[in-house]
């Protein structure tokens, strides 16, 4: 059973460009979470999605960031007009149901560098 797959692993974007990060959850998992890790920091929650629904986006910046988890295909975290402060590791995680009763499994992260 393949783990949580994220791509790209490393992404370099110039200021003002768009970044798209993809996450394929573990097989059978319908809950996806995105977290951001700034240098020397712990992970910070961004958004929690189920298929076609955003359940909790309380950690998402109000502007430039969006996330989706369509019926078919991977979950996408999209960052428009990137700035240097967006440089971070973005982790995706998945679970078969909400965390409370289950363990969530993290992917290996996508490292975004904005130059």
Partner 1 sequence: AQTVTQSQPEMSVQEAETVTLSCTYDTSESNYYLFWYKQPPSRQMILVIRQEAYKQQNATENRFSVNFQKAAKSFSLKISDSQLGDTAMYFCASLKGGSQGNLIFGKGTKLSVKP
Shortest distance (Å) from residue 81 CB to partner 1: 26
Query: Distance between CA atoms of 67 and 19, rounded to whole angstroms?
Result: 12
Out of 25, 35, 69, 82, name the contact with partner 1 by CB under 8 A: 35
Indicate the residue among 86 and 110 with the shorter CB distance to partner 1: 110
Shortest distance (Å) from residue 56 CB to partner 1: 5
Contact 92, 75 (CB under 8 A): yes
Shortest distance (Å) from residue 100 CB to partner 1: 6
Tokens linked to 3? 């783990």
74 binds partner 1 (CB under 8 A): no
25 binds partner 1 (CB under 8 A): no
Indicate the residue among 14 and 100 with the shorter CB distance to partner 1: 100
Indicate the residue among 81 and 102 with the shorter CB distance to partner 1: 102
Q: How far apart are the first and last CA of the chain?
A: 36
Q: Quickly tell me which residue has 């768009």 as its tokens.
A: 18
Residues in the chain: 115
Query: Distance between CA atoms of 51 and 59, rounded to whole angstroms?
Result: 19
Sign for the pseudo-dihedral over CA of 78, 28, 108, 5: negative
Provide the binding-site residues for partner 1, judged by CB under 8 A.
31, 33, 35, 40-45, 48, 55-56, 58-59, 89, 91, 93, 97-100, 103-109
């Amino acid at each position: 059973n393949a783990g949580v797959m994220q791509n790209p692993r490393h992404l370099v974007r110039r200021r003002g460009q768009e970044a798209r990060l993809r996450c394929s959850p573990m097989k059978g998992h319908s809950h996806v979470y995105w977290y951001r890790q700034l240098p020397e920091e712990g992970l910070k929650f961004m958004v929690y999605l189920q298929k076609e629904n955003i359940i909790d986006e309380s950690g998402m910046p109000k502007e430039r960031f969006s996330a989706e988890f369509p019926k078919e295909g991977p979950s996408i975290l999209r960052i428009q007009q990137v700035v240097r402060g967006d440089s971070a590791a973005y982790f995706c995680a998945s679970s078969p149901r909400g965390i409370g009763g289950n363990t969530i499994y993290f992917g290996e992260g996508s490292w975004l560098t904005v130059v």
